[in-house]
């Protein structure tokens, strides 16, 4: 039996995560590993909303409103989900050892969805019954989830962090098909810090489990903004991931519009008339066969541009996002490095038109090894509809006119290894990159444009003519050049003499070591 109590402290939280991961792994052999997250995260969600329900119920009793404890509105008015008796965690826990526990969980989730309109389409449908899990394995997992104290410290977003941990952990172990990859937290943080989504409509056309939205809200809170000043819009293709996103946002109390159903953004746009102030996205990389040759040929989203090729959806995503931006909107998104230079099937012509329309605000080359599920090198695109800074929004932020300019940042050598194979951007890295961009844009908080300067090997503000001279390639390395090597003042001849003497000394030492090794081998009877 695993029994770890989570009390909000980091050590205990880490121990709990490990324990829960261990419990999830106990499912191995019973269900596919790709199913673990849906099982674990659905149970965590059920425990969380039950805890918040019980807290609200007790509050009603303590304040003299006991007669209202079965009134749905008494809960929903405070953004708490109302739970009928057989949908509460206490009921699930009490019946955990019953052979029909899978059916009871499915019934609980179904009832919760029917009782709370905002959760429509969010919860797994008849999921646990179809898995064929033994009651004992499911009961063991319920016991572990029961040890999460979701209300210990509401300010720490304990459940949210557990959710993030598992989404990342599952992504690292299972990978995803079709070019879809879980976005590393540090990359999401960087996009949020660059865009500064304080107010307006935030959109992600391929939102996955909702990580971009969660980080946007965290950004607003950390900068003492008001989360009520933003509206969340998203879309997700995969039904199970769509449900995870809805649960992930519900856990944080984030209201959103993710469309009525999971659907293909290209063929069933859930937000056709949307004009977003901010777009944050990590589209599927190099998505093949996203449309047939006779489909979406004259789609209004690529009006004024060549039609994106069928063999790769990268530029279809770019044009889709451009079409969704408001007159002052900005977009930040992740793409494979090939998007910056490709000339395949008309992609070069599309990129040229985007550049000539003066939409590219900033390009960032990211370090390798950031993603868990792919080694594909990636970059960040930042698109702006208001580089002239004419809108009230831009003027309020103090942005300067950047017409005909694009900022290139080469961040390939930035970041720290977190294990043998993975790297992440530190908070200091993120702050430094974002400050470079904000200063270049002229923001007073970053010291204004006076605080910006080109830095060889790192950043360069390039003109449209310079980009044209580089055949409309957007790879930062083309523009930033090589970092200057600091002259230490020592003459070349002196350096060469010192290095030669060092080399000769090392060669002599090597000869001595070779003799010792030969002697040892002879003593052991392995001489030549």
156, pLDDT greater than 80: no
Least confident window among 255-259, 472-476, 486-490: 486-490
Strands of the 459-463 sheet, one edge to the other = 230-234, 200-204, 276-281, 325-336, 378-384, 360-365, 405-410, 459-463
Q: How far apart are CA 368 and CA 62, in angstroms?
A: 55
Percent of the chain as helix, strand, coil, to the nearest 5: 50, 10, 40
Lowest-confidence pick of 205-209, 276-280, 432-436, 460-464:
205-209
pLDDT exceeds cutoff 60 at 437: yes
Task: State pLDDT tens for residues 343-383.
Answer: 999 999 999 999 999 999 999 999 998 886 677 889 999 99
DSSP string, 471-482: TT---THHHH-P
Q: Is the pLDDT of residue 8 over 70?
A: no
Phi, psi of 112 (to 5 degrees): -60, -45
Q: How far is CA 73 from the centre of its chain?
A: 35
- At 19, the pLDDT band (50, 70, 90 cuts) reads low
Distance of CA 464 to the CA centre of its chain: 31
Per-residue pLDDT, 112: 92
Q: What is the mean pLDDT of residues 189-199?
A: 93
The model's confidence at residue 179, banded by pLDDT at 50, 70 and 90, is very low
> In sequence order, which residues have a C-beta less than 8 Å from that of residue 429 and are 6 or more positions away?
186, 411, 414, 415, 416
Q: CB count, 10 Å around CB of 273?
A: 6
What pLDDT is attached to residue 360?
98
Average the pLDDT over each of 139-148, 254-263, 357-366, 477-486 and give the range with the smallest value: 477-486
The answer for 456, left when phi > 0, alpha when psi is -120 to 50, beta otherwise, is beta
Task: Decide if pLDDT at 5 tops 50.
Answer: no
Q: Which of 28, 37, 39 is nearest to 170 (CA)?
A: 37
Q: Please tell me the predicted confidence (pLDDT) of residue 16.
A: 61
DSSP 212: H
Residue that wins the pLDDT comparison between 304 and 137: 304
- Per-residue pLDDT for 398 more than 90? no
The SS3 call for residue 413 is: coil
The mean pLDDT value of the chain amounts to 87
Q: What's the rounded mean pLDDT across residues 387-397?
A: 87
Percent of the chain with pLDDT over 70: 87
Paired tokens of 462? 């390039």
Is the pLDDT reported for residue 53 higher than 80? yes
pLDDT exceeds 80 at position 36: no
As a whole-number percent, the residues of the chain with pLDDT over 90 amount to 54
Instruction: Say whether pLDDT at 50 is over 60.
Output: yes
Quote the pLDDT of residue 486: 58
Residue 324 structure tokens:
């969704």
Provide the whole-model pTM: 0.81
DSSP state of 401: P
Query: CA-based Rg of the chain, rounded to a whole angstrom?
Result: 28
Rounded Cα–Cα distance for residues 379 and 337 (Å): 6
The residue-averaged pLDDT of 440-456 equals: 94
- The 10s digit of each residue's pLDDT in 102-119 is 999 999 999 999 888 888
| Confidence at residue 525, expressed as pLDDT on a 0 to 100 scale | 80
């Amino acid at each position: 039996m695993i029994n770890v109590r989570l009390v909000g402290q980091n050590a205990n939280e880490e121990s709990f995560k490990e324990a829960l991961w261990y419990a999830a792994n106990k499912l191995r052999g019973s269900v596919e590993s790709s199913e673990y997250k849906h099982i674990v995260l659905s149970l965590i969600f059920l425990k969380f909303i039950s805890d918040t329900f019980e807290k609200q119920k007790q509050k009603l009793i303590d304040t003299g409103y006991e007669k209202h404890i079965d009134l749905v509105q008494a809960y929903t008015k405070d953004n708490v989900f109302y739970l009928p008796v057989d949908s509460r965690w206490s009921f699930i826990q009490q019946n955990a050892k019953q052979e029909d526990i899978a059916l009871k969980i499915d019934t609980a989730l179904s009832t919760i969805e029917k009782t709370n309109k905002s959760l429509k389409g969010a919860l797994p449908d008849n999921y646990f019954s179809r898995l064929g899990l033994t009651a004992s394995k499911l009961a063991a997992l319920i016991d572990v989830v029961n040890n999460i104290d979701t209300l210990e410290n509401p300010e720490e977003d304990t459940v949210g962090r557990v959710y993030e941990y598992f989404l990342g952990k599952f992504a690292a172990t299972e990978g995803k098909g079709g070019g879809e990859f879980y976005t590393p937290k540090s990359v999401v943080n960087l996009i949020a810090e660059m865009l500064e989504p304080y107010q307006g409509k935030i959109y992600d056309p391929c939102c996955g489990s909702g990580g971009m939205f969660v980080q946007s809200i965290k950004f607003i809170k950390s900068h003492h903004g008001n989360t009520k000043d933003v509206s969340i819009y998203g879309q997700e293709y995969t039904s199970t991931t769509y449900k995870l996103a809805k649960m992930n946002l519900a856990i944080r109390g984030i209201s959103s519009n993710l469309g009525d159903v999971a659907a293909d953004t290209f063929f069933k746009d859930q937000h056709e008339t949307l004009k977003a102030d901010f777009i944050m996205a990590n589209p599927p990389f190099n998505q093949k066969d996203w449309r047939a040759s006779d489909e979406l040929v004259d789609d209004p989203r690529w009006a004024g541009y060549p039609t994106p090729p069928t063999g790769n959806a990268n530029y279809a995503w770019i044009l889709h996002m451009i079409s969704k931006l408001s007159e002052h909107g900005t977009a930040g998104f992740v793409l494979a490095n090939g998007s910056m230079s490709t000339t395949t099937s008309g992609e070069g012509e599309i990129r040229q038109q985007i550049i000539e329309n003066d939409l590219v605000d900033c390009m960032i080359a990211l370090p390798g090894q950031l993603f868990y599920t792919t080694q594909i090198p990636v970059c960040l695109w930042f698109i702006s509809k208001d580089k002239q800074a004419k809108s009230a929004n831009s003027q309020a932020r103090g942005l300067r006119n950047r017409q005909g300019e694009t900022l290139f940042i080469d961040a390939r050598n930035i970041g720290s290894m977190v294990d043998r194979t993975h790297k992440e951007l530190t908070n200091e890295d993120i702050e430094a990159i974002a400050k470079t961009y904000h200063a270049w844009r002229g923001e007073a908080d970053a010291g204004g444009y006076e605080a910006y300067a080109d830095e060889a090997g790192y950043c360069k503000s390039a003109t449209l003519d310079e980009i044209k001279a580089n055949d409309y390639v957007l790879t930062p390395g083309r523009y930033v050049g090589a970092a200057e090597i600091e002259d230490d003042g020592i003459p070349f001849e002196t350096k060469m003499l010192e290095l030669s003497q060092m080399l000769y000394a090392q060669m002599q030492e090597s000869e001595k070591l070779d003799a010792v090794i030969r002697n040892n081998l002879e003593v052991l009877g392995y001489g030549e």
